[in-house]
Amino acid sequence: MIAYLEGKLVVKTPTYVVVDCSGIGYNVNISLHTYENLPSAGNVKVLTHLVVKEDSHTLYGFADEEEKGLFSSLISVSGVGPNTARMILSSMKPFEVRQAITSGNWALLKSVKGIGPKTAQRIIIDLQDKLGKQTEVQAGVGGFVSTNKIMEEALAALVMLGFNKNEAEKGLQKIKQQNPNYTLEELIKHTLKVI
């Protein structure tokens, strides 16, 4: 899996970029959100997701971890392919997509070109609980801040240490509720004491 590309931005369009990495140009499909967040020229780092099919290998690129995580979640839903997920992320900002899913606003998702009512409802049914656990509302700002990365890394570390995934998740949630500002290391250390 190609996790990211770092190199010179050669071509930038609203739908794709070409990144030169040591003389090799990678064509990467992007959303409008990523397009707005990338510089017009110079060196860039683009997070990527590789979609492998029988007849193609396609790279999708993202400006930040939140958008990449949402893309992965969206394509896990039956009937939502990479191009549909990219269309959703081009139509709304990542925090708006997350908010629409966690609040059950299927009408907003349905307003995206190519998303019908059944697909919008399926996205909410499949992802509402999952994304609801990954976010917290940031007081006073009104946006969403993803705590997903730290929790995922802590969970992966605990599972690699030999703990049961469900027990580790419960322990992490318990410790996270006690202090949501723990660093990754503190979160793991305190969780080890309760599981």
Show me where the domains of the chain are located. Answer: 4-62, 66-134, 147-194
Phi first, then psi, for residue 149 (nearest 5°) are -60, -50
Q: Are 172 and 155 contacting, i.e. CB atoms less than 8 angstroms apart?
A: yes
Confidence at residue 135, expressed as pLDDT on a 0 to 100 scale: 52
Confidence at residue 134, expressed as pLDDT on a 0 to 100 scale: 59
Q: Are 9 and 37 contacting, i.e. CB atoms less than 8 angstroms apart?
A: no
Which one-letter amino acid corresponds to residue 153?
E
pTM of the model: 0.68
CB 37: neighbour CB atoms within 10 A? 13
Whole-angstrom distance, CA of residue 33 vs CA of residue 36: 5
Q: Which CATH architecture has domain 66-134?
A: Orthogonal Bundle (1.10)
Whole-angstrom distance, CA of residue 114 vs CA of residue 159: 39
Residue corresponding to tokens 């723990």:
182
**In CATH, 4-62 is 3.90.550.10:** no
Tens of pLDDT, residue by residue, the chain (195 residues)? 789 999 999 999 999 999 999 999 999 999 999 999 999 899 999 999 999 999 999 999 999 999 999 999 999 999 999 999 999 999 999 989 999 998 888 889 999 888 999 999 999 999 988 887 655 433 334 444 445 677 888 888 888 777 888 888 888 888 888 877 778 788 888 888 888
CATH class for the domain made up of 147-194 = mainly alpha
